[in-house]
Amino acid sequence: MMSLRRHTTVTAHVAIAGLIMGNTVLMAQETAPQDWLNRMASAVQSTNYQGTVIRLQDGRVEALKVAHSVSDGVVREKVIIQEGNGLEIIRHGNEVQCILPDKQSVLVEEWDDQSTLFSTLPSSDVRFGSEYDVSVVREERVAGRKAVLLAIRPHDGYRYGHRIWLDTETGFPLQTKLIGDDGEAIEQIKFADITLDEEIHASALASSINTDNFRWFTQPRRSIVAAVDSRWSNDNLPSGFRLVSNTEEELPGRDVPVTHILFSDGLANVSVFIEPADRIDIARRSRVGSSHSYSIETGGFQVTAVGEVPAATVEQIATSMQYK
């Protein structure tokens, strides 16, 4: 009799848990994907977090220790690579220090507002229904927390797909995958453990390495000269890409300003850099991780398109640039 009671109790608990889980999944799926993305954008900008991240890139797997806080709009962050030379990255606002303990040196460089981990996440400007479809797939668990899986699927081969697992409580991205046209992950970021929305002590954000006797190197700052009305145009962009900005920038080692033209489909961005072609050898193709670049010489100018997009995208954009 006792055995029967236990079995009945366990069965009831399983049924209740299944009902609760089913309702939770239904609620997650009833929330519009755009609402999830809006929650995600807010969470990335404002959430304090720390934990262990597993990153897959170029076939390499590495573990990172991350601590990140936002106070009065200023980002402070520490990232420690757990393998190799123990590289440590300290960010305070728009300044980043890359500490290389094996070389006893520190490289200081300017940083923009992009997230260190989540630079490829979609913004609210992405045009779903034209270039991408987005859907809530199912609920899973990541780093011990409930997460809803969003799938962003491109309509063609000119852009990557995305899989994003968002914490159901906060909207924070616990796992992201960048998907190639073969359906395989090109890059992946996944939290193995994480704490969210807790106060992070200043000591957790300070360097753990004594750099008193290290050599310090400061990268020259890149300054934007001005927004310009460029005479360069492109009438053969891949579907969905639009002109975002035209600027002239001073880059280290360049005698003249470089024209920088930015195209975007709201999710994928491609930068085109144009400068006088004063070098004999121009590298046509290159790749670093998910980022491709393509360079071509035309009319005495070197045109280089670069972005976290498939190789065909940067090649088409670079080869169809025209000077009017």
3 state DSSP class of 127: coil
pTM of this structure: 0.81
3 state DSSP class of 22: helix
- Using DSSP bridges, classify how beta strands 185-196 and 215-218 pair: parallel, antiparallel or unpaired: unpaired
Where exactly are the structural domains of the chain? 29-217, 223-323
CA 171, chain centre distance (Å): 16
Contacts of 197 (CB under 8 A, 6+ apart): 47, 48, 49, 170
Give me the phi and psi of 11, to 5 degrees please. -60, -40
Residue 262's DSSP bridge partners are: 245, 271
Distance CA 94, CA 74 (A): 9
CA 203, chain centre distance (Å): 26
Q: What is the DSSP letter of 128?
A: B
The answer to whether 295 and 280 are in contact (CB under 8 A) is no
Distance CA 185, CA 187 (A): 6
Greatest mean pLDDT among 5-9, 37-41, 159-163, 254-258: 159-163
Region 4-12 average pLDDT:
48
Q: Which residue has the tokens 């920088």?
A: 260
Assigned CATH for 29-217: 2.50.20.10
The answer to whether 246 and 263 are in contact (CB under 8 A) is no
Homologous superfamily (CATH) for 223-323: MucB/RseB, C-terminal domain (3.30.200.100)
The answer to whether 302 and 287 are in contact (CB under 8 A) is no
Query: What would the pLDDT profile of 44-84 be if each residue is shown by its tens digit?
Result: 888 999 999 999 887 789 999 999 999 888 899 999 998 88
Give me the phi and psi of 146, to 5 degrees please. -70, 135
Given pLDDT bands bounded at 50, 70 and 90, which one contains residue 124? low
Distance CA 88, CA 149 (A): 31
Query: What would the pLDDT profile of 220-246 be if each residue is shown by its tens digit?
Result: 776 666 777 888 999 999 999 999 989
185 by Cβ neighbours in 10 Å (0-12 / 13-18 / 19+) ranks as middle
